[in-house]
Chains A and B, each alone.
Chain A
Amino acid sequence: MVMSQTKDDFEAGLSKASTQVADFSRRRGPLERVQHGLHANPTLVPVMVLLFGIAVFGLIVGERFFNAFTLTLILQQVAIVGIVGVAQTLIVLTAGIDLSVGAIMVLSSVIMGQFAVTLGIPAPIALFCGLALGTICGIVNGVLVALVRLPPFIVTLGTWFVFEAANFIYTQNQTIRAQDVEAAAPLLQFLGRTFHVGGAVFTYAVVAMVGLVLLFFYILNHTAWGRHVYAIGDDLDAARLSGIRTTKMLISVYAVAGLICGFGGWALIGRLGSISPTSGYEANIQSITAVVIGGTSLFGGRGSVIGTLIGALIVGVFAMGLRIWGTDPQWTRLTVGALIILAVAADQWIRKASA
């Protein structure tokens, strides 16, 4: 018969086939090995840059930079960007981008303040309302991206203006003074309180930021929801065919990001003391900067929240180091700009390792 003939022909040798496992460990050049190492561990580059930065400023500026107080001051300064950066990382992992994170954060802080101070609502309830509003803002973004299927850049560009304007309209551009917040709702300033460990000074916002980063590192790597965040950013169609409800999933990611931004609003009150509708808008660009320098790919599916924290710290270290050194603040911006481009170039190079 034709068929059995064919089978015998080309599969006859199979019975004697080697059971030895194929070996892929072909020789790699040193550069290629670095590339593959980074592909497996993308946060390695930002960690090295951070250590390099601390070492360089420790050497050239010396004691004035390299002391517990200054180093922990950097942590305090990056706390808000770090918190909002977690939200931004979630969105970028889904291959999106969120320009409205700063606006959501400020709007949430304003709601907390207006409710607690102006309306006299108990502080915990006001806090909850602020967080709820942040979540709702996130859901609005998520629905527009996932259901209406508009590009995330456009959606969040639009909602950035909408949330910002709503904020000014609602508050009529009034700031709530720090002493009024302190009198009516000290809880709102809680994250700004400091405590000392030797020469090191921490705010509770720093603790919250580190806690949030660790929490989301765990969630992203050890829960089904976390793996699905990576899957939808990696290949949306494959995720859908694998049975992930991608629309629901995307909306939930934007909702969680909104909630985190609301939490950032609480930290913002702690940092400023007062509550101002004009504060904190640069958080969107700063958070994207931290995400990118932290090695998370703008194409989605690759990166980590730890990287974002490191990215924020890199910016903080360069800003602080250059300031103490006495350079023009523009050098900081120049350095950060160069780091962004380097980070994206590194990402492109690392991604080639898989091809």
Chain B
Amino acid sequence: MIRNTPVLTGRNLQKRYGRVVAMDNSDFDLYPREILAVIGDNGAGKSTLIRAMTGAVQPDAGEIRLDGQPTTLANPQAARDLGIETVYQNLALSPALSIADNMFLGREILRGGVAGWFRMLDKPAMRKQAREQLNTLGLMTIQSIDQAVETLSGGQRQGVAVARAAAFGSKVLMLDEPTAALGVKESRKVLDLILGVRERGLPIVLISHNMPHVFEIADRIHVHRLGKRLCVVDPKKVSMSDAVALMTGAVQPTPEMMAG
């Protein structure tokens, strides 16, 4: 594939939690219009990496660049303002709020004119857009858009989080295990959605333990091991069992893979 400047890079990222090293000099590269899968064992530090790249966690050291420019992401809002949209592993939904409220949390549609100055909500518009967005995901098993998120099943919640991120992402879409709780049909919808988002021109980061999914849609696979990027492999050149062997440490990567 064409190697132009990466959209998002991380260099020598570090993060410690007490004595646990969650990120140990990790690198990260995301190129335009690609689907980058991130795979690794439980506890390898994949989520920590994504949280650092989206302002949810402040790395202790290292550098993040967006479009080649050094960037500090002071909080998740800073990343969102730059168009980086994320589905976190724990979903980050407010259980007692409705689906529509959750979809627009932090960027509500406000009414026009004087009402807007007082930050009054345009609830009909929010309901309508939320419903449309969920429809594209085939999540209309949901009874009402005003239903509290806590009344949804785990998979439905995941669908709401994915729909929210896909709707608002304008630069990068990050998905931390977006299909972990989804059924076969719903997973397929999410994969289709990811491909659709790529059509819109956005690069996507997909963390997943589901190797068939990863090998089906990823352009490159970032293998994460023991808090750092071990190597990057091409799914067309490497088999699933090779990837799993790399990820678990059963084999060492070749120098070509190490180059990223």
Instruction: Please indicate the chain A residues that have their CB under 8 angstroms from the CB of B92 in the complex.
Output: 235, 237-238, 241-242
Q: Is A225 close to B, CB under 8 A?
A: yes
A residues near B118, Cβ cutoff 8 Å: 223
Asked if A231 is an interface residue, CB under 8 A from chain B, the answer is yes
Give the shortest distance, in Å, between B54 (CB) and chain A (any CB).
9
The answer on a CB contact under 8 Å between B216 and A14 is no
User: Assuming the A-B contacts A14-B185, A223-B118, are A234 and B97 also in contact, with contact meaning beta carbons closer than 8 angstroms in the complex?
Assistant: yes
Is A24 in contact with chain B by the CB < 8 A criterion? yes
- Contact check, B96 vs A240: say whether CB atoms are below 8 A apart: no
- CB pair B212–A224 under 8 Å, yes or no, is no
A195 close to B (CB within 8 Å): no
B212 engages A3 (CB within 8 Å): yes
Report whether A301 and B96 are in contact in the complex, using a CB–CB cutoff of 8 Å: yes
Given A14-B184, A238-B92, answer yes or no on A244-B105 (Cβ-Cβ < 8 Å).
Answer: yes
Interface bin, chain B: 35 or more
Asked if residues A17 and B105 are in contact (CB atoms below 8 Å), the reply is no
Which A-chain residue is minimally distant from B92 (CB atoms)? A241
Name which of A5-13, A78-86, A287-295, A307-315 contacts chain B: A5-13
Contact of B77 with A243 in the complex, beta carbons under 8 Å: yes
| Interface: A330 (CB within 8 A) | no
A291-305 vs B, CB cutoff 8 Å, 1 = contact: the mask equals 000000000011000
B:101-153 near A, CB below 8 Å = 101-102, 105-108, 110, 118-121, 123, 140-141, 143, 148, 150-151
Q: Which of A200-247 contact B (CB under 8 A)?
A: 222-225, 227-228, 230-231, 234-235, 237-245
Interchain nearest-CB distance for A306 vs B (Å): 17
Q: Known interface pairs A2-B239, A227-B121. Does A239 touch B184 (Cβ–Cβ under 8 Å)? A: no
Contacts of B120 in A (CB 8 A): 222-223
Say whether, besides A231-B105, A235-B94, A240 and B240 are in contact (CB < 8 Å): no
Closest 7 CB pairs of A and B: A243-B106, A241-B92, A22-B141, A354-B150, A243-B77, A242-B105, A224-B108
Starting from the known contacts A227-B105, A227-B121, A243-B105, 19 additional A-B residue pairs (CB-CB under 8 Å) come to: A2-B240, A7-B212, A11-B188, A24-B141, A222-B121, A223-B119, A224-B121, A227-B101, A230-B97, A235-B92, A235-B93, A241-B56, A241-B88, A241-B92, A242-B93, A243-B80, A244-B105, A245-B75, A354-B151
